[in-house]
Amino acid sequence: MIPPPSLPPDAKVCTLIDPESTTWKVDQVQQLFTPLDAKLILNMPLSARRPTDRLIWSYTPMGVFTTQSAYKMLANSAMANNASSSNPNPQKQFWSGLWKLQVPDKMKVFAWRACNRALPTTDNLTRWHIIDVNLCPVCKAVAEDPLHMVLNCLEVEPVWREHVWFSQAISSPPIDFTDLMSRFLQVTEDNRAELFICPQSLQQRRNKLRIGLPSPQLNLVGPQAAKFLQDYLNAQEDQVTSTPTTGEVIAAMSEHIPLPNSVLEVEAMECRRAAKFAYDVGIQDVIIEGDLLTVIQPINNGGASEAPYGNLIDDIIVFASSLSTVEFKHVKRSCNRVADALAKKAKYGEVFQAWIEDLPPDIAPLANFDVH
């Protein structure tokens, strides 16, 4: 068990924020909280406007409260409380490897719940006296536990069949979900995090089948998980390009940013950075493009105050008001090769790079392709 942080009863979040730079007091946060909690806190983007406190609802993408989302939150909380805590001594390396994976935090929480048998499988639902039959809702052959849901069920076999390395990793049947995850963590290839995402995709598919909703075909689960992971990793790099209507480059920038807790926050941070960069270099007529409609839409609608990233949306609107004309457009990721190339440059290059009326040699041909 990890003791709670030693904070006074009247402590406020503002005590962890530097009032001058409006940034987190990194040393203090890391001293007070566990490494995982500190990482979650430090990755929360702050607004330089110092907005007043307001209530948000973080259990829906747009921050709008619904009774369905409240029910899911309460149910998940109850199941997590019934799960046993992890023993850090014999399993320290396992949990450390799991929490360090570059995947969304909700995926790590899914794995933690599965390892602690806290998922709403039919085996658990029967034990909790919620249902009477514990048969798997997909194959309807045997009782369903986390390992059966993502591996042993005959219906999910096609997901893993095409991966040669997977059969090598499980040359002998895993004992439980924790054993399965430990083998995933031992795979040295870069796609081990992709495999980590697959189990939750299978659970989501299983839930849809159980209540009769359309679900993706099994042969699409792996590719969709891989695309989700790639989009998430690409989103942690910030990139901005500015071109006049004639197609000439005015300015470009590439910046490595901390990995926030959701793709929506990353996209909103990129959009905010683009508006500020345009203002900094003196561009007054701007079109800002993004590939997430859930970020572009609330900007055009005037805000998303209840959303977890609502302060970022408000920042964008404030920055946009300082420009003569600004338009926010939703485009597909494939429509902006320059931004994708700058994201990769941010990932492997310096923390911040900017170019005025110029582009790196490897980026310039892509800019010509985009604007012509």
Q: What's the average model confidence in pLDDT over 187-196?
A: 60
One-letter amino acid for residue 190 of the chain: D
The whole-number pLDDT of residue 372 equals 44
Query: What is the domain partition of the chain in residue ranges?
Result: 13-42, 83-232, 236-371
User: How many other C-beta atoms can be found within 10 angstroms of the C-beta atom of residue 74?
Assistant: 10
The whole-number pLDDT of residue 329 equals 87
User: Which has more pLDDT, 177 or 360?
Assistant: 177
**Average pLDDT along the chain:** 77
User: How far apart are alpha carbons 205 and 138 in whole angstroms?
Assistant: 10
| H or E, element range at 352 | strand 352-356
User: How far apart are alpha carbons 259 and 190 in whole angstroms?
Assistant: 18
Instruction: Decide if 98 contacts 108 (C-beta within 8 A).
Output: yes
Instruction: Decide if 343 contacts 234 (C-beta within 8 A).
Output: yes
Share of the chain above pLDDT 70, in %: 75
Instruction: Check pLDDT > 80 for residue 190.
Output: no
Tokens of 30: 């890391």
One-letter amino acid for residue 207 of the chain: N
Instruction: Check pLDDT > 60 for residue 245.
Output: no
237 Cβ neighbours under 8 A, 6+ residues apart: 254, 255, 256, 257, 342, 343, 344, 346, 347
3-state secondary structure of 332: coil
337-341 LR contacts (CB < 8 Å, sep 24+): 337/366, 337/369, 337/370, 338/239, 338/241, 338/252, 338/363, 338/366, 338/367, 338/370, 339/239, 339/240, 339/241, 340/234, 340/239, 341/366
CATH superfamily, with its number, for domain 236-371: Ribonuclease H-like superfamily/Ribonuclease H (3.30.420.10)
Locus of tokens 């805000």: 303
User: How far apart are alpha carbons 347 and 345 in whole angstroms?
Assistant: 5
**Alpha helices, DSSP H, located in 170-309:** 177-186, 192-210, 218-235, 263-280, 293-301
Instruction: Decide if 238 contacts 269 (C-beta within 8 A).
Output: yes
Digit-coded pLDDT (tens) for 162-187:
666 666 667 778 888 888 888 877 76
Instruction: Check pLDDT > 80 for residue 338.
Output: no
The whole-number pLDDT of residue 25 equals 92
Digit-coded pLDDT (tens) for 63-91:
778 888 888 777 766 655 554 444 444 56
Tokens of 105: 């935090």
User: Which has more pLDDT, 5 or 145?
Assistant: 145
Digit-coded pLDDT (tens) for 23-76:
899 998 888 888 878 888 888 888 888 888 877 787 777 777 888 888 877 776
The whole-number pLDDT of residue 282 equals 84
The whole-number pLDDT of residue 85 equals 47
- Nearest CA among 347, 327, 338, 323 for reference residue 266: 347
User: How many other C-beta atoms can be found within 10 angstroms of the C-beta atom of residue 170?
Assistant: 14
3-state secondary structure of 237: strand
3-state secondary structure of 329: strand
3-state secondary structure of 356: strand
Tell me how far CA of residue 345 lies from CA of 240, 338, 354, in angstroms: 12, 10, 12
Instruction: Check pLDDT > 80 for residue 138.
Output: yes
